[in-house]
Structure 1
Amino acid sequence: MRSRVRKFAHVLERIGLAMAGAASGLFVAVHVGSSIAALTSQGFLVIMMIGGAVGFYLGIDTPPLSFHAPDREHSVNSGGKIDAAEFLSAVGTFLAALTAFVSVSVIVLRENLQIFWTIMIMLGWVVGVAMQIVAGAIARFRG
């Protein structure tokens, strides 16, 4: 019984992360679409929301490599090596969250950013979400 409750809680958590990612993608898409006329379509909004949902679902809460193998010997991660999945997840989540925060701020404060900054927000979002997806794929392939 306890295992089912834990699994259900984990599924709810992952769905919540996906919804947060979709909402973040929507905020970035609304800001970018309001500044770049070619990106005002509903298709662009949906693609940004799906990308955010997939990125946040896969890329947040990736299981890190263990520091020690089960038999107490040092594992692959020992010796100061960087866990690629953990690093990509952290940086990707930061970039995606930062660009979503900036987008919401621009929308709420009714600011008019130069097109350069709008493009940088879009690139930050795309790179951040891509990093999350790659991190999730790495973490899931290794076990």
Structure 2
Amino acid sequence: MLARELMMVSRAAHVMQRTGLAMAGAMAGTFVAAQLAKGNVAVFSTLAFIATTIVVGAVGFYLGIDIPKLTVRATGRIDVVELLSAGGIFLAALAALVSVYGIVFDEIPPRAWEFVIGSWWFGGVVMLATAGLVGRQRLA
């Protein structure tokens, strides 16, 4: 009975952690969307784009940050899932950091940089989501 209760508490804590990470991803997506919307590019100012940025951030952070590791293998290969997760969080966080800077200091980047920032964000969260899905599938 005690083991079952401990397992339920552990699962609840894990869900709470994952939900917090999803909220952090949504918040970072909000910053990126707000910065890109300031650039007067029609596509970036739409409600659909802003909502997509927020949802993709939440899903990417939920799936891709806490990936279960396989047992250490002596194959000498690079773990692609770990690399995707690390690269994805770096790119997404970099895009969010640049966006927060732009919002706080009221800076609008040149149009080409808006696309770069957006690419960092979407590339990063796609890498995170892919890493999370692949990492969970290979354990199954």
Are 1:50 and 2:55 counterparts?
yes
Structure 2: distance between partners of 1:103 and 1:51: 16
Q: Indicate the residue corresponding to 2:7 in structure 1.
A: 3
Read off the aligned partner of 2:96 and give its amino acid letter: A
Read off the aligned partner of 1:46 and give its amino acid letter: A
Structure with greater helix percent = 2
Are 1:65 and 2:70 counterparts?
yes
The question of whether the paired residues in 2 share the 8 Å contact of 1:64 and 1:83 is answered with no
Coordinate RMSD, CA, aligned: 1.0
The equivalences for 1:30-109 within 5 A come to 30-35=34-39, 36-67=41-72, 75=73, 78-109=74-105
Aligned identity (percent) is: 45
TM-score when normalising by structure 2: 0.92
Structure 2: distance between partners of 1:53 and 1:96: 11
Structure 1: distance between partners of 2:97 and 2:53: 15
Q: Which runs of 5+ in 1 are unaligned?
A: 68-74
Between the two proteins, the alignment pairs up a number of residues equal to 134
Q: CA-to-partner distance for each residue in 1:121-140, whole Å, 9 max, x for gaps?
A: 00000110110011011111
Q: CA-to-partner distance for each residue in 1:55-106, whole Å, 9 max, x for gaps?
A: 0000001112211xxxxxxx3xx23211111110010011001100110111
Q: Indicate the residue corresponding to 1:118 in structure 2.
A: 114
- Once superposed, which parts of structure 1, at least 4 consecutive aligned residues long, lie more than 3 Å away? none
TM-score when normalising by structure 1: 0.90
Structure 1: distance between partners of 2:118 and 2:42: 14
Structure 1: distance between partners of 2:43 and 2:86: 31
Are 1:20 and 2:24 counterparts?
yes
